[in-house]
Each structure stands twice: as C-alpha cells, then as structure tokens.
Chains A and B, each alone.
Chain A
C-alpha cells in the first residue's frame, strides 16, 4: 500500500482541476467537480439545530418546516445541484415528507439556501421533520 501524507492537493496545470482515473481504469473524472462541497444533517423537531455538517456556517429555523442554511465557503454561482432527504412524520398514520426549495420566500444564493419540508398527505403544508439532510454539488468560488 502506498500512502500520501499532505494537507492540500493542487493541480499542476490548473490549480483547481485534478483528474482521477475511474473504476473502469480508463475514463477519468474530475476530482474537484465530483466532490460534495457542503452537506448537513439538521434536527427540525424539538430542539432545532445542526447535528453534523461540512462547510455549513449556520442553520436558521424560519418556521414550521422552513429552514435556511448558510455555507462557510461560497459557491461561484447559485446553479449548484442538491440532493435531499428528510424523515417522515411519525405516529400511527405516518405522513410522507419531502424537501424542496422554498418558493414562497425564495432564497438561493452562492451561500444560502432556504428549504421547505412539505407533507404530501396534508395538502402539502410545511411541517418539521426529525432529520433533514442536503448535500451540495457545484463550483466553489
């Protein structure tokens, strides 16, 4: 086994671009482009707050199922992609929650994203979920 000990990887031709050979041993993928640049898991019920995170400066509870999170290091634009998952509502008649961008009070910037936890079985009203997690892919500034 070979091992590299370093605190920083930088491309030689382009500082922010390093190629990695893919699983098929021929095609290459871009290291920086494939990395998740920010992620978080927050608790929405009871005591609100971040449970664990990376490159996430803060999380704000705007109301029922309505959260804003802020990145520490900004993206270069607001066209990043996200993947999200949240807990269903517990109890004997579990409701099915899903995460979307908040379009009633839209906030998508290079640092901030405002999300809704919506409930598909209650007229799509917002409600808190025990866990809410989002990962972000895109270009750092």
Chain B
C-alpha cells in the first residue's frame, strides 16, 4: 500500500475542539529517553542515536535527527534523591544532563526530553 499524505492547517475533533497543526509540529517532543542508573545504556527512547557516558553523573544524549539550532529546550528528571540537576553543552545534535548531590556528581537514571525545531 502506498503511503498516504495529508496536508492540513487544522485538526478538529467532534467534541474536544480543534487544533492548529503547528501545535502538533512545534509542540511535539523531538527527543526523549530513559537511561539506566549507571548512565551506560538506554532503556527506551525516541530520536536517540546513542548515549555517551561523559562521566559520573554526566550523560550526553546524541540525537538521530538534529535540531535546527542549539537553542532548543531540554529538560531532565532523575531517579534518585539528589538535589542538583542541570542541562549543559546544548548543540543541534546533542545535549548533556548533569546530576550532582552538592558535593560530587552522582550517577542516576535520567529522563531527558527536548522540544524545539527539527533541522
């Protein structure tokens, strides 16, 4: 069966309202993953080419399809009770998540997500 293609500016549901399709394109997450507690492997993901174990508590997430610029909007939650998490090294094809307990970097499950424009 040939692939179908629909071009539309609006989607409308019978009861739940309508949505400009720009919210589908721009509002969808362009990458997410769930890493293991050692920061060495990916349990599940989307648009994730690979994981680099940059160092203890530091994970670099490499995207399959790159973003159009380096000002996309990564976020990250972690699976342990450590009190400092932040994002760094944002590039079109990757970003780094960092987990720290106030004294040193700590490995943990990390759950990064980013939104923004694909290249």
Interface residues of A (CB under 8 A from B): 1-7, 9, 12-13, 20-24, 26-31, 33-36, 77, 79-84, 98-101, 103-104, 108, 116, 118, 120, 124, 134-135, 137-139
Contacts and interface: CB of A to CB of B under 8 A. Distances in A.
Interface string B71-98: 0000111111111110000000000000
Nearest to B4: A12
Contacts of A28: 65
B51 interface: no
A34 B79 contact: no
A98 B85 contact: yes
Contacts of A79: 34, 43-44
A137 B81 contact: no
A90 to B, nearest CB: 19
Interface of B: 1, 3-4, 6-15, 18, 24-26, 28-30, 32-34, 43-44, 46-47, 65-66, 68, 75-85, 102, 109, 111-113, 117-119
A18 to B, nearest CB: 9
Given A23-B68, A30-B46, A77-B43, 16 more contacts: A3-B11, A5-B12, A6-B13, A9-B11, A20-B25, A22-B25, A27-B66, A33-B46, A80-B34, A82-B111, A83-B111, A83-B113, A100-B80, A104-B81, A120-B84, A135-B113
Contact of A2 (B1, B10, B68, B109): B10
A7 B15 CA distance: 8
Contacts of A2: 7-10
Given A3-B12, A29-B28, A100-B78, A81 B112 contact: yes
Nearest to A126: B81
A134 to B, nearest CB: 8
- Among A27, A98, A104, chain B packs the most CB atoms within 10 A around the CB of A27
8 contacts: A6-B13, A9-B11, A23-B68, A77-B43, A82-B111, A83-B77, A101-B77, A139-B44
A83 B81 contact: no
**Closest 3 CB pairs between A and B?**
A34-B28, A22-B118, A79-B44
Nearest to B119: A24
A13 B5 CA distance: 12
Contacts of B29: 33-36, 137
Contacts of B32: 81, 137-138
Nearest to A19: B3
